[in-house]
Amino acid sequence: MNVLHAAHLYRAYSQTIAAELECLRKQASGRKAALEIGTHMGVSAGVIAGALAEDGKLVCVDPWESLPGKEHPCFSICRRELGRQGVLAKIEFLKGFSHEVENDMPQQCDFVFVDGDHSYSGLETDWGITLRRLVPGGVVCLHDTTVPPNQPHRNPGSVAYFNEAIKQHSSFEWIDGCHSLNVLRRIA
Ligand SMILES: C[S@@+](CC[C@H](N)C(=O)[O-])C[C@H]1O[C@@H](n2cnc3c(N)ncnc32)[C@H](O)[C@@H]1O
């Protein structure tokens, strides 16, 4: 894949569909301090970084665990993809699971995209990270928190955690949704 991507014969892949990417672009527009948990090949990161303010920064978190003697091919694709899009200067990569690198994340964010570990406990962890960082007025976009009508089998633990613990949170208002994505704004 990496070799094919270098030769422009393979496109970076994401499960995030075009309509969800458009929703991310709209919500990230003009924001200055963004965090993405779960970056993979950088498809959503490219959209988010491109929409940020000129001086905006996006911190991308993913383990991208290195193989002996070489970096993870998805990280190579990600960096190349973001370079081709001209947004690398806006991006900082943080290699590690979110709970391992939390101390290196920005203390305050006005945009968070959570798309890492879609288990119940995985979203619980990343919601905690979000609560500690997102400023009032900021938005959080949560992938895989609604079962898409045309994909009833796609029902990870993150859907249950969203419905039980996030949906009615008193410090947030729901402002948008698309396919598997929910978007909430922090109000307090
Ligand atoms: C669905 S992919 C992300 C796709 C990307 N957001 C996009 O739309 O282009 C999920 C990624 O999350 C990463 N991941 C899984 N658990 C994680 C965690 N606890 N912290 C950070 N990243 C994690 C995986 O390595 C994988 O690359």
Distance CA 29, CA 52 (A): 5
The mean pLDDT of 157-164, rounded to a whole number, is: 98
- CATH of residue 30: 3.40.50.150
Cβ(15) – ligand 1 distance below 6 Å: yes
Residue 85 has pLDDT above 90, yes or no: yes
Classify each residue of 58-86 as buried b or exposed e, where b means 16 or more C-beta atoms within 10 Å of its C-beta. Answer: bbbbbbbeeeeeeebebbbbbbbbbeeee
- Per the prediction, the chain carries an average pLDDT of 97
Best mutation site among 16, 40, 65, 158 for ligand 1 pocket (most ligand atoms within 8 Å of CB): 40
Domain of residue 60, residue span: 2-186
Distance CA 171, CA 165 (A): 12
What is the structure's pLDDT at 39?
A: 98
Residue 66: pLDDT band by 50, 70, 90 thresholds? confident
Distance CA 124, CA 137 (A): 21
Number of domains in the chain: 1
